[in-house]
Amino acid sequence: MVTGKTVKFFTSKNNNAPQLLNVQGSMLALLDACLVSGIQVGTVAALTASGTTATATFGMVHNLTKHQIIRISGASQAEFNGDFKIKQIVNTNTITFELNTSATVANATGTINCLLAPLGFEKPFSSTTALGGGRAAFRSKDESLPNRPFLRVVDERISSYSTNYAKYAKVGIVENMTDIDTMTGVQAPYIASAATRNWNPTGSGLNIKNGWAKWYYCALGEYYPDSTSLADFSIVAGDWLVVGTDTGFYIMNSIDQNLDDPFNHKNLAYCYGFGAFESIADDDPFNHFLLATNWWETAQSINYRASYGTNGISIGLEDASYTAAPIPGRSVLLQRGYKKSAYAQATGRKVTFEAPLVVSGNTSGYSVSADKMGGVILQSPLIMEVLDTSQFLPRGFLPMIKTIPHKTLYADLQLVEQSGRVFIAKEIYGNTGYPKGLVMFDLGEA
C-alpha cells in the first residue's frame, strides 16, 4: 500500500505525450517529461470555483484521466495555482478538482496554464550524442531516503549497432556520479571480470553485444531477434504508462510496433521500473531496485525478451537452479545484496500460492473472473527474493504494483475504485503460452 506519497501517472494518450518511436533517444525524452519537466496539457480557457471545487474548461480536447495530478499556474489568484488531483472528467473539454483552500473569487483571471505534474526527480548529469540520442542520470530529490543512487540511462545511436535493429535504452543503478561518465561505488548490474559490460558494446552487426540491463521500446515483439530489420515492417509508436512517486516509478511500455502482427500484442507492456522498495529488515539502507530485461547476448540471439528476460513480475516464480551471471529471468536487480558488498539479482515472487507458470490476470488454473466475484480484486503484493546458495531469502516488497491470481475482465488503463482506494490496470506480456496478462497499480486514496 502506498502511504504518504502522491502517486502520479501518465499515458501515451495524454496531450503532447512523448512518443516511443523507432528513433534512438525516445526513451530519454519520455523520462525527461515524466520525471523532471511534466507534460503540457494546454491553456485553460476558463477556471471557475465554488468553495473548494474548481472547474477548468479547455479550448480543446484535454485527453486527461480522473485521478491524474495536474499543475495549474498563471492564475492571478494564488489559491488556483498548485498541484491538484482531477476529481471528475465532466466532458472532453472540462474537468473538476479540489482546491486546497476556498476560492476568493468565482472566476480566476490571468493566463492560466495546465500541465501534468512531473514525479519530481532531478537530472544532474546528461549529454547528447552526435549520431542521435544521449545519456542522462536521474535520481530522487527526497533527501530523507537512506541513500539516493542514480538511474543512469544510455539511449544513444552508435555506429556499430544498425539503425534498423531493435531500440532500447541501457539502464543501471549507479551509487555515485560526478559527471555523466564518471561512476563510483556499486553498480547494478555489474560483474568484476567485465566491469563495463552494461555500458560498452563489443563486436558489431549481428554479433554486437550492446548492453546488459535494457529497457526496450521499439521492436517486433517476442519472436524476432534484435537484428531483424525494422525497415521491412510497418512500425508505429508504442503505447505506454508511467506511474510512480518522487522516490520510484514504473514504465510499462509495449515494444511490439509491428502493424502486421496477427497476435495483436501492441498493448502488452514489459515491466520496467526504478526506485526505492519497501525493506523487510530494519537495517537495510540500500533499498533500490531496477526492473529491466536481463539479457547480455548478441543481437542475432536476443528474442523472447519478456518470456526469458523480464516476466518474473508477471509470472512471479523463479527456478533456483539458475546460478550463472547474468541470470535470465531474474529481472529484479538490486543496488546491493544483504551483505552490502555488491548488487544482487532477485525475482519478484507473488505472495499468493499458485501453480507454476501462472500469468497475473490470466490463468487456466484459477479461472474465476472478477465479475463473478462481485468486482472484488484479489491482489498479491510482489515480494523480492534473493538467492543465497540454494534458498531464496525475502528482501522487501515492490511498491505500488499488485498481481492478480485470477482471470480479469478489466480493460487496459481501466480505473478501479475499491475499499476507498483507486487502482489502474495495465495489460502486460506474460509468457509464450499466455501472452496477455494484467497487473494493477495502487494510486492511493480515491
* 94 and 212 assigned to the same domain: no
Which tops the pLDDT comparison, 171 or 264?
Answer: 171
Buried b (16+ CB within 10 A) or exposed e, 94-112: bbbbebeeebeeeebeeeb
Q: How many CB atoms lie within 10 A of CB 154?
A: 26
* 50 and 138 assigned to the same domain: no
Q: What is the pLDDT averaged over residues 162-166?
A: 95
Q: What is the total count of domains within the chain?
A: 2
Tens of pLDDT, residue by residue over 329-371, are 567 888 887 777 777 776 666 665 555 667 888 865 555 555 5
pLDDT of residue 221: 85
Confidence of residue 436 (pLDDT cuts 50, 70, 90): confident
pLDDT of residue 240: 96
Residues 6+ apart with CB under 8 A from 170: 153, 154, 155, 198, 199, 210, 211, 212, 213, 214
* 310 and 422 assigned to the same domain: yes
Grid coordinates given for 89 = 472528467
pLDDT of residue 113: 98
3 domain residue, yes or no: no
- When mean pLDDT is compared across 72-76, 159-163, 309-313, the lowest value belongs to 309-313
* 18 and 110 assigned to the same domain: no
Range from 60-64, 236-240, 275-279, 387-391 that averages highest in pLDDT: 60-64
Which tops the pLDDT comparison, 268 or 65?
Answer: 65
Is the pLDDT confidence value at 381 over 60?
A: yes
Q: What is the pLDDT averaged over residues 251-255?
A: 93
Grid coordinates given for 342 = 555488491
Q: Which residue, chain included where needed, has cell 491524474? A: 68
In degrees and rounded to multiples of 5, residue 41 shows phi and psi of -95, -50
> Do the Cβ atoms of 121 and 139 come closer than 8 Å?
yes
Q: What is the pLDDT averaged over residues 404-412?
A: 82
* 151 and 108 assigned to the same domain: no
- CATH number for 105: 2.40.30.20
Alpha-carbon 84 to chain mean position: 22
* 205 and 57 assigned to the same domain: no
* 285 and 245 assigned to the same domain: yes
pLDDT of residue 5: 80
1 domain residue, yes or no: no
- Specify the amino acid at residue 395: R
d(CA 98, CA 41): 18
396 domain residue, yes or no: yes
- % the chain with pLDDT above 70: 87
Mean of the per-residue pLDDT values of the chain: 88
* 100 and 203 assigned to the same domain: no
d(CA 170, CA 201): 11
89 domain residue, yes or no: yes
438 domain residue, yes or no: yes
Confidence of residue 143 (pLDDT cuts 50, 70, 90): very high
Beta bridge partners of 89: 95
d(CA 110, CA 357): 57
Q: What is the pLDDT averaged over residues 274-282?
A: 90
Domain span holding position 69: 39-116
23 domain residue, yes or no: yes
* 180 and 217 assigned to the same domain: yes
Which tops the pLDDT comparison, 393 or 359?
Answer: 359
Is the pLDDT confidence value at 3 over 50?
A: no
Extended beta strands in 321-419, E state = 332-334, 344-350, 380-388, 391-403, 415-418
12 domain residue, yes or no: yes
* 405 and 301 assigned to the same domain: yes
204 domain residue, yes or no: yes
Which tops the pLDDT comparison, 256 or 387?
Answer: 256
pLDDT of residue 324: 41
pLDDT of residue 366: 56
In degrees and rounded to multiples of 5, residue 399 shows phi and psi of -75, 150
Domain boundary among 92, 116, 140: 116
Domain boundary among 96, 116, 136: 116
Which tops the pLDDT comparison, 292 or 281?
Answer: 292
pLDDT of residue 73: 98
* 62 and 166 assigned to the same domain: no
Is the pLDDT confidence value at 201 over 90?
A: yes
* 394 and 438 assigned to the same domain: yes
Which tops the pLDDT comparison, 404 or 1?
Answer: 404
Domain boundary among 97, 116, 135: 116
Tens of pLDDT, residue by residue over 7-65, are 999 999 999 999 999 999 999 999 999 999 999 999 999 999 999 999 999 999 999 99
Is the pLDDT confidence value at 316 over 80?
A: no
Confidence of residue 375 (pLDDT cuts 50, 70, 90): low
> pTM for this one?
0.93
- When mean pLDDT is compared across 59-73, 84-98, 310-324, the lowest value belongs to 310-324
